[in-house]
Structure 1
Amino acid sequence: MALASALAIGLLISAPGTSHGAGPRDVAGTRHAAGTHHLASEPGSPRTVSTGWSVPWGLSWLPDGSALLTERDAFKVYTLTRDGTKRQVGEVPNVVTTSGEGGLLSIAVSPSWNADHYVYVMHTAAEGNRIARMTFDGSALADYKVVVDGIRKNTYHNGGRIKFGPDGYLYATTGDARTPDLAQDRTSLNGKILRMTPEGKPAPGNPFHSLVYSYGHRNPQGITWDAQGRLWEGELGDQTYDELNLIEPGKNYGWPRCEGSCSTSGMTDPKRQWPVAEASPSAVAYADGAIYMAALRGERLWRIPVDGASAGTPKAYYAHTYGRLRTVESVPGTKSLWLTTTNADNSGEGEPGSDTVFQIDLT
């Protein structure tokens, strides 16, 4: 399926001379037949856009084509242009670290930024995880305001991805805060995908008349929409399987009763699943007929062709070449992606300032 030119995207990765993976591979334990999918395009040779980062976690595009990026442990926000010019524009207040996966997580530019100058951040605070709104005038961040709180935090399993959907509403992923039963509790904001208005209120049409859009999630860190507006989610599993899910409102995605596909009534199976050593997914992005999924423990980029509601055979790229891959986003108006590493995190694989933003064109 070719992506319409208005939605064409780009991929960021670094280091010349990178070789592709060994070829297509089936995913163990997946029960969904996907048929045959043509690879419309594949990642080409990568190039470095910017170096010297420390755990760049969130990335969102401004209308002028530059990006806003967050550093998780430093609580700082930067602009980064496509020619690699980096500039700090502020530090988000009230952020705390959990000495694990908490801190300043993702960022989302308002779809009406030219009019309202709003940007949104999700972060860990003293009381728990929260979503806040700030103004950005093109030079500096200001006017911090909490729009959603009451999301439990933990050292691990904080979720943390926020994005505006094609419907204009803000979506957020939340982890189970290492309390698995919260994922099945529809009154809790943890272990969920949330959908809200720009003011942080339940969006019209939400299935439970609350912020909750879907539930039964362990630690989702990636969401994206395909060319038809379907919502896809990447989720870190426990000891067995990580997941790629097609999200529908009100559906139960199984955790903790199920990890990967299962036969429990009322649970929604993933479209694809991976052994945790091959994935541990963070961000996902859609480009030119495929979902791209950045893998942390798996240290590779997965390409999963999608056709309607089915997901084809995944293929891995750049395995163990760049370390932990955190955030992947399509570049507006191009057939490219940007990709960040987070080797300077608590994995012990890198020092502060050792992370990179890459670009790869789809060929």
Structure 2
Amino acid sequence: MAAVMLFNACGKTSDESTGGNPPADAKLTDVVLTQNLTFPWEILWGPDNKLWITERGGKISRVDPASGTITPLATLPDVVSQGEGGLLGMVLHPDFSATPEVFVAYNYNKGGAYTKKIVKFTYNGTTLVNPVVLLDNIPAAGIHNGTRLAISPDKKLYITSGDASVSSRAQDQTNMAGKIQRINLDGTIPADNPIAGSALWSFGHRNPQGLVFVGDRLYSSEHGNTTDDEINIIQKGRNFGWPNVEGFCSTSAEQGFCSVNNVAEPVYAWTPTIAPSGIDYYNNDAIPQWKNSLLLAVLKDSELLQLKLSADGSKVEAVNTFYKGTYGRMRDVAISPAGDVYIITSTGNNDKIIKVTRTP
């Protein structure tokens, strides 16, 4: 049920119907806000009313959402960008004005081993200072790093970690690859985690690259192998199946594994695969047809997807497609309080921030 809407970089608008929505739906305008980025990974809306971005080579910057002016904040010297690895996820402290802390995840070389760590910095108004390592020794690789961050309403930090190219790690609860981790904002382990002393929150993940809270419900997007890219609702202690289960528990072997291992099935899956990456939640009146939807940046199919959720948020009721093939591979999406949408591309050649607004 995908309706395709195509726009160009000059800001043309479209009045095509989006999946049969009523005529009162807002028309959209898209423009290139800024360009000349190199493999940006994270884009988020900061409490300072600026966009914050990471680039895989190690750069963290702020971007003016009106002019597109980029202000570099820091370049982290120990970041090692290898394949799809490098500087990846970032999130800001929810009480940023009082506690200006910036949480980042990146890959580096540790004793000759490619490794991921989670580091907390303090923003001093100009740059990032006082690095504190919160979590280390997460296996990394040139592929399947996952590495999106989110902070829950009760102020716990969640981290997605892919299997780092070794699928068996995902089912090994003693290995931090192929997991979603949960830690306190000071790096300690919450007492109510599934395994005492372990950051593990869920396991059986292949390469989860999107993560967003909607209230206290946590959604994740995940790359499948040759089939079954997924949208999951993450649950405490649950097994999400990889590599024994791809998508739903549909084959006889999968059904047997699922019944024994308490596997949580996705709420939506794609075959053929689309390569889903960053997600954010849209619930603003500015674009009414997107209310109560996940917005998903897609790499292989080079598009933005609107995933319309059911009223209770437990199902994806409709999928609508935007900008397919217009801007190239899309890595992440952010939403401003005014309801404007910002998308980063991921081609490695003149990457851009795309701004989508309601047409005046």
Corresponding residue for 1:250? 237
Cα distance, 1:312–1:302 mapped onto 2, change above 3 Å = same
Aligned partner of 2:355 in structure 1 is 359
**TM-score, with normalisation over the residues of structure 2?**
0.85
SS of residue matched to 2:84: coil
5 Å-filtered alignment, 1:8-23, equals 15-17=10-12
Q: 1:300 matched to which residue of 2?
A: 303
Identify the residue that residue 5 of structure 2 maps to in structure 1.
none
The superposition leaves residues 151-178 of structure 1 with CA deviations (integer Å, 9 ceiling, x where unpaired) of: 0011101111112122211111000011
Return the match for 2:85 from 98, 102, 119. 102
Flag the 1:149–1:18 CA change in 2: closer, same or farther, 3 A: farther
Q: Could you tell me which of 282, 289, 294 is aligned with 2:277?
A: 282
Please report how far the alpha carbon of residue 329 of structure 1 lies from its aligned counterpart in structure 2 after TM superposition: 1.5
Cα distance in 1 for residues equivalent to 2:26 and 2:269 = 21
Normalising by structure 1, we get a TM-score of: 0.84
Whichever residue aligns with residue 310 of structure 1, its letter is K
Verify: 1:155 aligned to 2:142, yes or no.
yes
Deviation at 1:22, TM superposition (A): 8.7
Deviations 1:228-256 (A, max 9, x none): 43111000010111000111111111100
Distance in 2, matches of 1:186 and 1:56, equals 31
Partner of 2:73: 89
**Percent identity over the alignment?**
31
Given candidates 29, 33, 42, the residue that maps to 1:49 is: 33
Matched, 1:124 2:107: yes
Q: Distance in 2 between matches of 1:176 and 1:38?
A: 43
Q: How does 1:1-363 map to 2 (within 5 A)?
A: 15-17=10-12, 24=19, 44-73=28-57, 75-83=58-66, 84-98=68-82, 100-127=83-110, 128-209=115-196, 210-226=198-214, 228-262=215-249, 263=255, 264-265=258-259, 266-277=262-273, 279-288=274-283, 289-307=292-310, 308=312, 309-331=314-336, 333-344=337-348, 351=349, 354-361=350-357
Question: Which residue identity lines up with residue 338 of structure 2 in the other structure?
Answer: T
Q: With CA pairs under 8 Å and 6+ residues apart, which has the higher RCO, 1 or 2?
A: 1
Q: Distance in 1 between matches of 2:71 and 2:51?
A: 11
Gaps of 5+ in 1: 1-12, 26-36, 345-350
d(CA) in 1 for partners of 2:146, 2:326 = 25
Structure 2, unaligned runs of 5 or more: 1-7, 250-254, 284-291
Q: Which has the higher strand share?
A: 2
| RMSD over equivalenced CA pairs, Å | 2.3
Paired AA for residue 71 in structure 1: E
Alpha-carbon distance, 1:212 to partner? 1.0
Residues of 1 paired with 2:65 and 2:206: CA distance? 34
Q: In structure 2, how many angstroms separate the alpha carbons of the residues matched to 1:42 and 1:229? A: 29
Find the aligned partners of 2:207 and 2:27 in 1 and give their Cα distance. 27
- Report if the CA contact (8 A) 2:121-2:131 is conserved: yes
Q: Is the 8 A contact 1:67 1:79 kept in 2?
A: yes
Q: Distance in 2 between matches of 1:215 and 1:38?
A: 41
CA 1:168–1:19 in 2, change beyond 3 Å: closer, same or farther? same
**Partner AA of 2:36 in structure 1:** G
Sort the Cα spacing of 1:115 and 1:14 in 2 relative to 1 into closer, same or farther, 3 A: farther
Q: Count how many residue pairs are aligned between Structure 1 and Structure 2.
A: 327
